[in-house]
């Protein structure tokens, strides 16, 4: 009898242990792995961190966003593939999106964006109705439109005042078909490469220059390997918190809602942070020794007409999108 009672108690203890383990497993937080290529300290990394903190506060015990910046989980191209595989759940692509869907290249049109208020109107009236869903058949779901920033040119050859000054200069561009077309049209020698390779490429002379917002130039310490900083403001580049469509569809609806709502609420925050920091970052780069000049905007606008014509004729609805975007600038 004693042996029977002892065995029964052991069995109950084992069952209790299994129940506890099962309960713990059921309550385990779902991990949302967020990989970005942007460097620590850049606006994109700051916005991703703010998103992580806000989302985790709302998610509580249900899920947790874990952020890995500075290409720890791969460059943008790698991250886009990992989104489809489900090994990364959230990424922050920027210019690379126009190589997946030509419609995203609306933001690659030079000098299209008047200011950040104009960006907000383009987002509301063109991006969400006509552009965002064009990557879904490729396996992606865009959650929001954040800021990468207003792009300027740096190089080690000469100050860039007019497009002719770019002749023969090897300029790194993102892997964006339309950015390559733009710099080719201006006479440069565009060289697409991942952002994580840019510092070394400049240091070794593989490339002469690059183009990026002040926040990325500063965060990557490109002032250490670049002499000239030319304010061109040729493109305003958004970044897009993006999930793999299959993972997005598999998520608990409540978790999905938190992620989407938090991503959307950070759009204005990111633009405000970017605008507030631009002047201070430019001063910081100049104080660090870069030679600064302001390019002739009119000369670049004139040289950019063939890019608009190509987009209007080659991209589905391209001409109409450009015309609508330009009309929305009137309220800025």
* Residue 120 CB coordination number (10 Å): 17
**Mean of the per-residue pLDDT values for the chain?**
93
Helix axes 305-314, 318-328, angle to 10 degrees: 130
Among candidate residues 93, 63, 61, 87, the one with its CA nearest the CA of residue 75: 93
Q: What are the structural domain ranges in the chain?
A: 30-331
**What's the CATH superfamily of 30-331?**
Bacterial extracellular solute-binding protein, family 7 (3.40.190.170)
Mean of pLDDT values over 96-116: 96
Residue 162 has pLDDT above 50, yes or no: yes
Under the banding of pLDDT at 50, 70 and 90, the label for residue 27 is low
pLDDT in tens, 191-246: 999 999 999 999 999 999 999 999 999 999 999 999 999 999 999 999 999 999 99
- pLDDT value for 331: 59
Under the banding of pLDDT at 50, 70 and 90, the label for residue 291 is very high
Give, in order, the Cα–Cα distances in Å from 239 to each of 36, 154, 207. Answer: 11, 21, 24
Predicted TM-score (pTM) above 0.85: yes
Percent of the chain with pLDDT over 70: 91
Under the banding of pLDDT at 50, 70 and 90, the label for residue 330 is confident
Phi, psi for residue 68 in degrees, rounded to 5: -130, 110
Residue 137 has pLDDT above 70, yes or no: yes
Under the banding of pLDDT at 50, 70 and 90, the label for residue 332 is low
- pLDDT value for 28: 87
Any idea how long the chain is? 332
What order do you get walking across the sheet with 242-244 strand by strand?
A: 63-68, 30-35, 90-91, 242-244, 140-142
Under the banding of pLDDT at 50, 70 and 90, the label for residue 23 is very low
Residue 2 has pLDDT above 80, yes or no: no
What is the DSSP track for 64-87?
A: EEEEE-TTTT--HHHHHHHHHHTS
C-alpha 140/C-alpha 245 separation (Å) is 5
| Residue written as token pair 């860039």 | 160
């Amino acid at each position: 009898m004693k042996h029977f009672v002892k065995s029964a108690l052991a069995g109950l203890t084992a069952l209790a242990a299994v129940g506890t383990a099962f309960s713990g497993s059921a309550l385990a937080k779902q991990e949302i792995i967020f990989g970005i290529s942007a460097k620590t300290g850049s606006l994109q990394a700051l916005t991703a961190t703010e998103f992580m903190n806000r989302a985790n506060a709302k998610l509580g015990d249900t899920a947790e966003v874990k952020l890995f910046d500075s290409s720890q989980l791969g460059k943008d191209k790698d991250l886009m593939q990992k989104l489809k595989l489900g090994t990364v759940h959230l990424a922050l692509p920027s210019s690379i999106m126009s190589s997946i869907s030509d419609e995203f290249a609306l933001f690659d049109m030079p000098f299209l964006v008047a200011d950040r208020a104009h960006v907000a109107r383009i987002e509301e009236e063109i991006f969400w109705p006509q552009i965002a869903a064009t990557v879904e058949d490729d396996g992606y779901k865009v959650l929001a439109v954040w800021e990468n920033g207003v792009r300027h040119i740096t190089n080690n050859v000469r100050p860039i005042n007019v497009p002719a000054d770019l002749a023969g200069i090897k300029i790194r561009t993102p892997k964006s078909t339309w950015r390559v077309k733009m710099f080719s049209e201006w006479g440069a020698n565009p060289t697409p490469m991942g952002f994580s390779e840019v510092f070394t490429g400049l240091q070794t002379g593989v490339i002469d220059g690059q183009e990026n917002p002040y926040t990325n130039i500063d965060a990557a310490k490109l002032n250490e390997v670049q002499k000239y900083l030319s304010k061109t403001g040729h493109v305003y580049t958004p970044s897009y918190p993006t999930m793999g469509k299959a993972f997005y569809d598999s998520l608990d609806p409540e978790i999905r809602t938190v992620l989407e709502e938090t991503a959307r609420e950070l759009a204005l925050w990111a633009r405000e942070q970017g605008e507030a920091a631009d002047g201070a970052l430019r001063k910081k780069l100049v104080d660090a020794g870069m030679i600064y000049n302001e390019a002739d905007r009119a000369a670049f606008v004139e040289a950019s007409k063939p890019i608009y014509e190509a987009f209007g004729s080659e991209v589905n609805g391209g001409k109409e999108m450009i015309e609508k975007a330009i009309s929305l600038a009137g309220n800025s």
